Structure 1
């Protein structure tokens, strides 16, 4: 059996997780196995295939690439050690994988920040954006996730929107010289009650007001199915501002084919638009262990083969 080269073995770092003496995925995998050729850039995350690939982040990236996934997303990338970020970026480059989103800033889940117009909160947000630019450069990321935070119940929605738009304009001025895009993610009322940004038309209005290539929409199919439904028409209506898409079926927020969303038709629509961006697999696995992880891979093959 042909073994994976020593280069991938030495891509491990002290910041990476290990299996305490067990053989790594790189040592045991048959690299002659043909990867699936997906039509869209689906992006798994760490932990999604940890039983099949092992706990080590580099092994997990290699496993994803071996299955045919050409992208990867990591909400927590910013908090990882620099050495690990660099090793992950090196591995992705070698394996032909694009880096998807990471969370760019502190998100205020229960109190207002950007909607309030508070100058200290705005300064904190802009400083987070500045530090995220350095992370994006390090890991070759083109996109970063922004969530404007909680509503301010003391202010009219029009004033809140103006405050958010002003913060995003200032952030866009920081991002534009680096060709990096923050993607605004509307979130549903059930999982995240009380947030300012909830629906795609609202995100569309804000992006048009900011008017920058560095401020676009992250359309999370799971969130928008709960919040507003009417998925394909809403995506069509705001398509020119959508730069990134995330996936999850409802109910349960698991892989496609486990819930009510007709992902055959949703992906067919996205593919018909010649979407060249990333579709983040921001969901859990419906079943545990190796069988559940294989079920995720099989589900994506099934819906992708429909295209």
Structure 2
């Protein structure tokens, strides 16, 4: 399956070394591109140098999120009372994405805040995504929307791929697409080959991890060899982000790339 392109998520992979050393580690392992959620702890110039020195392409980053355990730990986009903070985060994300040459900015949806109805939170989310799309216009950066599963992120504003796809359609202009994460999709909806086929034209980026432990492909219940064949036969030419926690050592676990893509 020579048509499939995998990038390393440096939040999850190569954690055997400090973050700034993971770029070179990914390149040594054969990756030519990377993604990670948060670049904001570092100067964009420093990250750009790390990318250039390792010969890597930046695929995506996320918009800023609140601290672990906080109400905004999964993003600000559905908070009616935090529109200013959300907009500041989007602009910061676009600034970093531009500086790093990233193709995508994942606008993280958020957990419906306490005391706010799901309908009100979703309405604010749609309005916020439309605003972000206007800010991204002309930058060359496209926005991604991702559904997170209800087991790991109970109360997340997006509850299904169909709902996320409806937001993409409502915003329009081909500036916004799905980040289809097969780990989340398998847990909540299953039937992931059909899901991919249904949303193939809407999915700008894919992410992988096996279920239930979120380890590398081949360690759980997803028939990744079949899924990879379906992806390749569809003509999908985008990137597939490796967003999983290695079961043991990152490099030792990469044998799945050969075993499941032949």
Q: Shift of the alpha carbon at 1:278?
A: 1.5
- For residue 58 of structure 2, the aligned residue among 96, 99, 106 is 99
Secondary structure in 1 aligned to 2:261? Answer: helix
CA contact (8 A) 1:86 1:138 kept: yes
Larger Rg belongs to:
1
Q: Please report the TM-score for the alignment, with normalisation by the length of structure 2.
A: 0.88
2: CA distance between counterparts of 1:231 and 1:169? 28
Structure 2 gaps of 5+ residues are: none
1: CA distance between counterparts of 2:200 and 2:186? 16
2: CA distance between counterparts of 1:218 and 1:70? 20
Aligned to 1:301: 258
- For residue 13 of structure 2, the aligned residue among 31, 48, 60 is 48
- What count of residue pairs does the alignment treat as equivalent? 257
2: CA distance between counterparts of 1:294 and 1:144? 27
Q: Shift of the alpha carbon at 1:261?
A: 0.3
1: CA distance between counterparts of 2:35 and 2:63? 13
CA contact (8 A) 2:3 2:237 kept: no
Change (3 A) 1:152 1:280: same
- For residue 46 of structure 2, the aligned residue among 84, 96, 109 is 84
Aligned to 1:57: 20
CA RMSD in angstroms, aligned pairs only: 2.4
Larger helix share, 1 or 2? 1
Q: Shift of the alpha carbon at 1:113?
A: 4.9
CA contact (8 A) 2:76 2:108 kept: no
**169-178 or 129-138, which moves further after superposition?**
129-138
Q: Shift of the alpha carbon at 1:303?
A: 1.3
Q: Shift of the alpha carbon at 1:82?
A: 3.2
Change (3 A) 1:273 1:98: farther
Aligned to 1:139: 100
1: CA distance between counterparts of 2:48 and 2:79? 37
Q: Shift of the alpha carbon at 1:50?
A: 5.3
Larger strand share, 1 or 2? 2
Q: Please report the TM-score for the alignment, with normalisation by the length of structure 1.
A: 0.76
Secondary structure in 2 aligned to 1:280? Answer: strand
Aligned to 1:230: 191
**154-163 or 294-303, which moves further after superposition?**
154-163
